Amino acid sequence: MRTDLQPTTEQQTTNFFMPIIIGTRGSALALWQAHAVQAMLQSRYPELDVRLEIIHTTGDKILDTPLSNIGDKGLFTKELEVALMDGRIHLAVHSLKDLPTVLPDGLTLAAVTERERPEDALIAPAGTTIATLPHGGTVATGSLRRRSQLLHLRPDLNVVDVRGNVPTRLQKYQTNGWDGMILAYAGLYRLGLAQHIAQIIPTDQMIPAVGQAALGLETRADDTATIALLRGIEHPPTRICTDAERALLRRLEGGCQTPIAAHATLAGNQLTLHAMVASLDGSTIIASQITGSPDEAEELGNRVAGELIERGGKEMVEGIRGSR
């Protein structure tokens, strides 16, 4: 455990005796994200020495099984969190959608960076949309949330599972003869692969995952110096929106492998949260929306979750979890 980092003011945080170590997964997208955070920190604190350490997670090692069959608690975060608690790294960079809403004791979500566009994207021949996919066509996705919403829109489609990082999934799409595949827009854009997108799917058709397109920066709760550094690169509007989304997910006790979706937007002094819970086959969707003050982000998330629960959402989630 480091004992040399005591300062808490922004001026003091530039006077570190040791480099700041960022923990990251090793995929191309994870490395892009870690390098982006490294660049943010070095831009804000030019004298800061920031380095990366690649850590392989369980989710990176098990590639031949659908995520929904192996659980989702810390699949892409546990090993990074162990490195944090052991003092080997100072912060971990996560895709916020992968970070559980309840963190291990002693760890905290220190900052959330500015969000990229949160929509999902359809990979398909140019000009194709969800509506114009061939009748009975095959579409690949590794997400139960996407599967449910896609089948709600197009129950005739055959939806197949796909695993792997973004380039691997694109290669599988090209070699398997599928009619389409759905990925997050943000990952494709960040890797310079947006030319493969046929349609950016509107959020009123497919609500994104909680925290999608935002980066979550996790640290030890007692590492006041690193936390102070990260406050300098946090994006408050994104933090407000994702706090509302994560509060909803926490109350529903869902994870990234249950068909729960939430998307918050901030316009002036109004925070609006859209959310839904769906059956696996997409035949039933329970949706809700609320608008309120940004100061009440978590409360709004809890209120929407409460409405979804009252309408049967929690039983739906528990039924899906029990069937796996």
pLDDT of residue 17: 52
CATH number at residue 28: 3.40.190.10
Sorting pLDDT into bands at 50, 70 and 90, what band is 8?
very low
Domain count for the chain? 3
Indicate whether 19 and 106 sit together in one domain: yes
Per the CB < 8 A criterion, the answer to whether 217 and 239 are in contact is no
- Show the domain range for 40: 12-113+214-234
Between the alpha carbon of residue 111 and those of residues 11, 75, 152, 197, 221, the distances in Å are: 18, 21, 35, 30, 12
Indicate whether 160 and 287 sit together in one domain: no
In the set 72, 98, 179, 243, the catalytic residue is: 98
Query: Does 266 reside within a domain?
Result: yes
Indicate whether 109 and 222 sit together in one domain: yes
Indicate whether 193 and 315 sit together in one domain: no
Indicate whether 143 and 286 sit together in one domain: no
Total count of residues recorded for the chain: 324
Between the alpha carbon of residue 123 and those of residues 27, 76, 261, the distances in Å are: 20, 24, 20
Tokens coding 128: 């194709």
pLDDT digits (tens, 9 = 90+) for 59-79: 555 444 454 444 555 667 889
Cα atoms found within 13 Å of the Cα of residue 51, Cβ hemisphere only: 8
Residues with Cβ within 8 Å of residue 204, at least 6 apart in sequence = none
Indicate whether 182 and 269 sit together in one domain: no
Q: What is the DSSP secondary structure assignment for residue 24, as one 8-state letter?
A: E
Query: Does 3 reside within a domain?
Result: no
pLDDT of residue 75: 64
CATH number at residue 306: 3.30.160.40
Indicate whether 108 and 143 sit together in one domain: no
Q: Which of 6-15, 41-50, 302-311 has the lowest average pLDDT?
A: 6-15
pLDDT digits (tens, 9 = 90+) for 11-46: 444 455 579 999 999 999 999 999 999 999 999 999
Tokens coding 146: 């996407």
Nearest-10 Cα torsion for 258, 260, 261, 264: -120
Look at residue 176 and tell me whether its pLDDT is greater than 90.
Answer: yes
Look at residue 1 and tell me whether its pLDDT is greater than 50.
Answer: no
pTM: 0.88
Report the distance separating Cα 92 and Cα 79, nearest Å: 10
Look at residue 158 and tell me whether its pLDDT is greater than 70.
Answer: yes
Query: Does 139 reside within a domain?
Result: yes
pLDDT of residue 72: 54
pLDDT of residue 60: 56
Segment 137-149 mean pLDDT: 96
Query: Does 281 reside within a domain?
Result: yes
Query: Does 254 reside within a domain?
Result: yes
Query: Does 137 reside within a domain?
Result: yes
Indicate whether 125 and 108 sit together in one domain: no
Tokens coding 15: 């006077």
Per the CB < 8 A criterion, the answer to whether 137 and 157 are in contact is yes
pLDDT digits (tens, 9 = 90+) for 238-249: 999 999 999 999
Look at residue 135 and tell me whether its pLDDT is greater than 50.
Answer: yes
Residue 120 annotated as catalytic: no
Indicate whether 41 and 89 sit together in one domain: yes
